[in-house]
Amino acid sequence: MEIFDTHAHYADSAFDGDREQVLAELPGKGIKLVMLAASGLDDSRDNVLLAQKYDYIYASVGVHPESVDETPADYIGTLRELIASEPKIKAVGEIGLDYHYEGYDREKQIRFFREQLELAKELDMPVIVHSRNAAEDTVEILKEYCPKGVVHCFSGSAETAREIVKTGMYIGFTGVLTFKNAKKALKALEAVPMDRLLMETDCPYMAPEPFRGSRCDSSMIAYTAAKAAEIKGIPVEELLEITCRNGMKMYDII
C-alpha cells in the first residue's frame, strides 16, 4: 500500500519524548509520504528542520487562525524567505478561519487568510485550509480566490463539500470518519469524487477508533481509509493508492 498522510503535526510537543523513534518507524509501517502542516512561524521553522532530516517528509509554512494575535506584522516576509530557502516546502498552511472559541477576531482572521492566499497565488503554491464553525466565510473567500489546495479535516456538510470541490480544491478527512457520531462527515465523504479526496491524520489529534482519545500517528490512517473505502465501495488498497497520487499531484511531489 502507498500511504500519504497529507496533514500531520510532528513538531507538536506531544511527540517531544519519542519523535525520532516514531518518525524512524513510519516507513516500515507503510507510510510513503507525510506533509507537515504549520500553526505559526516557530512551527513553520520546526517543520522545515524535520523535512530536511527525513526524506519522506515535506513541509508547509503558514499562520493558523488561532495564532494571528501572536504573529508579527511582517510575517509574510518571513514566510516568503522560508519558502525561498527550502525546496521541500510545498504549501502555505495551515491557514483559514476558526470561529469556535469566544473572543475571536473575525476581521483579523479574514485579513490573515487573504494575505496568505495572495502569497500562495503569487508563488503558485497550494494552500492547506482550516475551517471550523466558519463555513460561510470560508466558502465565500475560496470562491473568490479559487486556490490550489485542500480544505483539511473536513467537518462541513455534503453541500459545502460540493461547493468546495467546484472551486477545484481537494478535501481531506481524518479519523472522525470512524466515530459513532460521524453521519455528517460520512455524507460529506459520499459527495467528494475520488479525484478530489485526500486522507490525513491531523496527528497527534483526531485518532480514529479504536484509538480515539490517544495520541495519533500516521500509521493509524489505515483505519480511516478502511472506513472511507467502505463508503466508496472500493478496496482499501485502491483508495490509499488513489489518495496518495492525489496528494502527490496537489503538492507537486514527483
Q: What does the alpha-carbon distance between residue 79 and residue 24 come to, in Å, rounded to a whole number?
A: 28
227, 241 Cβ separation under 8 angstroms: no
Helix 183-191, helix 158-166: angle, nearest 10: 30
Opening angle at CA 192, ends 127 and 36, nearest 5: 30
Architecture of the domain spanning 3-251: Alpha-Beta Barrel (3.20)
Q: Give CA separation, 129 vs 28, 172, 228, 229, 236, in Å.
A: 30, 10, 21, 24, 26
Structure-block grid coordinates of residue 51: 523535512
Report how far residue 81's alpha carbon sits from residue 168's, in angstroms, rounded to the nearest whole number.
Answer: 28
Nearest to 98 by CA among 78, 117, 112, 118: 112
| Domain spans of the chain, in order of start | 3-251
pTM of the model: 0.97
Tens digit of each residue's pLDDT, the chain (254 residues): 789 999 999 999 999 999 999 999 999 999 999 999 999 999 999 999 999 999 999 999 999 999 999 999 999 999 999 999 999 999 999 999 999 999 999 999 999 999 999 999 999 999 999 999 999 999 999 999 999 999 999 989 999 999 999 999 999 999 999 999 999 999 999 999 999 999 999 999 999 999 999 999 999 999 999 999 999 999 999 999 999 999 999 999 98
Residue located via cell numbers 473536513: 154
pLDDT digits (tens, 9 = 90+) for 133-143: 999 999 999 99
